[in-house]
């Protein structure tokens, strides 16, 4: 026992200086910034970290006193986070999300996006044909709303597309639309785990509302006017809802078809991609809510409305699907 104690003391005496040096460098970074380290100190940290890990391994094998072992464990953990951890600022991480993580996640969901979009527009086409055949179908899809229904006059319907209903209520209107659309999209995403069925249902039902409204205005010769009124914000909003459905499908398909992984592992992997895409969807819905609450009411020229719709669609397409170098093309 005396010989073991002697070896333990010698071991601590020989190596403790490196522990203290590593500790002081980490404290310097924690209290100030990594930029305060000199080049020599910055290069020394990984070397001291590997030395501390070696000391920890030996300390456990020779049963070094518990206090010293706990100190080494804490020191090695702090050094690990410094050497291998993310040291970017919140602003840098936010920039990385918008510059790479979000568009990469959306691009990887292109199959799910096609399915989600197909279901949305299938619902729109079915509702459009049914309402054109029998206007009473309108109430099945839209219910009884603000007067925009088959009983309204053509003049009234035209007025809803161009009359400024008052600027004071526009801010509240934009906030309401954002909250509603974000809720529907998040629901479509969250229910994807249920084998995609609720997500598919929500995509179809969202499409039927668009188809029913379009059929009503087309029957009064106002189809082009309604398209401009809708698409000034609808390009962004509909695309966001479709992406939310795609994120839900990603989770559901990962569970149904896990491949070589367990269903839990597949769901977690799919959830990471879906969550990244969904975080950006909320941003898109906020932008769409602002366009819907302000731009759509304040801009009453059809040509300008269609121009804004076309430009916004082009921007989203380039942002999400434009190749980002050779690495992205082979991904």
Q: Are residues 263 and 127 in the same domain?
A: yes
DSSP 330: T
The predicted pLDDT at position 246 comes to 96
Q: Are residues 252 and 320 in the same domain?
A: yes
Tell me the C-alpha distance between 14 and 68, whole Å: 14
- Over pLDDT 90: what percentage of the chain? 50
Mention every residue, 6+ apart, whose C-beta is less than 8 A from residue 255. Answer: 193, 195, 263, 266, 267, 270
Q: Are residues 111 and 80 in the same domain?
A: no
Mention every residue, 6+ apart, whose C-beta is less than 8 A from residue 221. Answer: 154
The predicted pLDDT at position 290 comes to 82
Per-residue pLDDT tens digits for 230-243: 898 899 999 999 99
Confidence of residue 87 (pLDDT cuts 50, 70, 90): low
Mean pLDDT across the stretch 73-78?
91
Tell me the C-alpha distance between 273 and 70, whole Å: 38
Question: Looking at the predicted structure, is the pLDDT value of residue 323 above 90?
Answer: no
Confidence of residue 219 (pLDDT cuts 50, 70, 90): very high
Q: Are residues 67 and 185 in the same domain?
A: no
Mean pLDDT across the stretch 217-227?
95
- Which residue in this structure is represented by tokens 């380290």? 37
Confidence of residue 131 (pLDDT cuts 50, 70, 90): very high
Question: Looking at the predicted structure, is the pLDDT value of residue 31 above 90?
Answer: no
In this structure, of 97-106, 255-264, 284-293, the range with the lowest mean pLDDT score is 284-293
The predicted pLDDT at position 36 comes to 80
Question: Looking at the predicted structure, is the pLDDT value of residue 328 above 70?
Answer: no
Question: Are the beta carbons of 103 and 320 closer than 8 angstroms?
Answer: yes
Q: Are residues 168 and 253 in the same domain?
A: yes
Q: Are residues 53 and 163 in the same domain?
A: no
Q: Where are the beta strands (DSSP E) in 95-236?
A: none
- Which residue in this structure is represented by tokens 């953990």? 77
Which of 40, 58, 87 is the last residue in one of the domains?
87
What token pair was written down for 124? Answer: 């729109």
Per-residue pLDDT tens digits for 136-191: 999 999 876 667 899 999 999 998 888 755 444 455 555 655 676 777 888 999 89
Mean pLDDT across the stretch 205-230?
93
Q: Are residues 68 and 114 in the same domain?
A: no
Tell me the C-alpha distance between 111 and 305, whole Å: 30
Q: Are residues 273 and 141 in the same domain?
A: yes
Question: Are the beta carbons of 284 and 239 closer than 8 angstroms?
Answer: yes
Q: Are residues 155 and 304 in the same domain?
A: yes
Query: Could you tell me what percentage of the chain is helix, strand and coil, using 3-state DSSP and rounding each to the nearest 5?
Result: 85, 0, 15
Per-residue pLDDT tens digits for 242-255: 999 999 999 999 99
Domain range for 312 is 92-329
Q: Are residues 41 and 108 in the same domain?
A: no
Averaged confidence pLDDT in the chain? 85
Per-residue pLDDT tens digits for 4-27: 555 667 777 788 899 999 999 999
Q: Are residues 108 and 62 in the same domain?
A: no
What token pair was written down for 83? Answer: 């050497």
Which of 40, 62, 87 is the last residue in one of the domains?
87
Q: Are residues 51 and 194 in the same domain?
A: no
The predicted pLDDT at position 327 comes to 45
Which of 63, 87, 111 is the last residue in one of the domains?
87
Q: How many domains does the chain have?
A: 2
Query: Across the chain, which distance is largest between two alpha carbons, in Å?
Result: 102
* Angle subtended at Cα 274 by Cα 271 and Cα 277, rounded to the nearest 5 degrees: 150
Question: Are the beta carbons of 211 and 123 closer than 8 angstroms?
Answer: yes
Tell me the C-alpha distance between 199 and 192, whole Å: 6
């Amino acid at each position: 026992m005396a010989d073991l104690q002697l070896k333990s003391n010698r071991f601590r005496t020989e190596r403790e200086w490196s522990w203290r040096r590593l500790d002081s460098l980490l404290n310097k970074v924690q209290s100030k910034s990594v930029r305060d380290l000199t080049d020599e100190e910055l290069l020394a940290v990984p070397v001291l970290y590997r030395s501390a890990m070696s000391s920890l391994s030996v300390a456990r094998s020779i049963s070094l006193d518990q206090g010293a072992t706990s100190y080494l464990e804490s020191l090695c953990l702090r050094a690990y986070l410094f050497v291998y951890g993310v040291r970017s600022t919140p602003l840098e991480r936010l920039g990385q999300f918008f510059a790479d993580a979000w568009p990469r996640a959306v691009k990887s969901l292109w199959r799910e996006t096609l399915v989600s979009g197909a279901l949305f527009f299938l619902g729109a086409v079915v509702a459009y044909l049914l309402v054109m055949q029998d206007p009473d179908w309108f109430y099945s899809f839209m219910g009884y709303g603000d007067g925009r229904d088959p009983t309204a006059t053509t003049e009234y319907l035209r007025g809803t597309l161009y009359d400024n209903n008052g600027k004071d209520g526009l801010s509240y209107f934009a906030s309401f639309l954002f909250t509603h659309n974000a809720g529907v999209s998040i629901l479509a995403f969250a229910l994807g785990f249920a084998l995609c069925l609720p997500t598919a249902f929500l995509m179809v039902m969202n499409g039927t509302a668009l188809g029913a409204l379009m059929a009503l205005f087309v029957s009064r010769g106002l189809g082009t006017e309604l398209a401009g009124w809708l698409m000034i914000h609808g390009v962004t909003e509909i695309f966001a809802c479709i992406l939310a459905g795609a994120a839900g499908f990603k989770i559901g398909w990962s569970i149904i078809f896990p491949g070589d992984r367990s269903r839990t592992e597949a769901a977690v992997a799919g959830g990471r991609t879906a969550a990244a895409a969904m975080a950006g969807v909320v941003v898109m819905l906020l932008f769409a809510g602002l366009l819907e609450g302000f731009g759509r009411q304040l801009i009453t020229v059809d040509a300008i409305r269609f121009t804004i719709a076309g430009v916004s669609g082009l921007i989203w397409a380039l942002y999400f699907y434009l190749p980002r170098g050779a690495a992205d093309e082979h991904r």
